[in-house]
Amino acid sequence: MNISKLSKEELESVMRGNHDEYMARRTPIVRAYSPIINMTYEEWVDKFSPIECDLSHGEDGFNGCLFPRTSVQVREEHTYNPSKVWTLLRTYDKVIIVPGMRGVNHRLGFFICDEPYVAFSRYEIVISTH
């Protein structure tokens, strides 16, 4: 981070310990220029190791790893380890897994993984296409 280019307010925010908030405001700009990393579901499981959800009993089609949209455990994990949370989304033409906790209407659930993703990376794991 180049501190000399920060405004006075941004510098004060970083100095107060709000670096994550500062970076979150800039994340969409950085992410827009990052290449999309495509993976298969199997490659994603091998690389990030999603953990099992106690509530699913293996009936979710994802080996019991899909957490419901209202899961308190996901929200707690996102607070402490946001780079370990992934979202299952339905777009207009496919179902995909993307990094982060997305608060959109088309989310189907969440995953919590043992391994974090790299900040500002754009992963897209295609589950199915319509």
> Minimal CA–CA distance to 68: which of 50, 56, 52, 81?
56
Q: Quote the domain boundaries for residue 18.
A: 1-33
- Considering the domain architecture, whether residues 65 and 101 belong to the same structural domain is answered as yes
- Considering the domain architecture, whether residues 52 and 92 belong to the same structural domain is answered as yes
**Residue 23 CA neighbour count, 13 Å, CB half:** 10
- Considering the domain architecture, whether residues 61 and 26 belong to the same structural domain is answered as no
| Residue with the two structure tokens 């979710």 | 60
Q: pTM score, two decimals? A: 0.70
**How far is 17 from 50, CA to CA, in rounded Å?**
30
pLDDT by residue (tens digit) across 68-83? 888 888 888 888 888 9
> Minimal CA–CA distance to 92: which of 101, 110, 105?
105
pLDDT by residue (tens digit) across 33-47? 678 899 999 999 999
Number of domains in the chain: 2
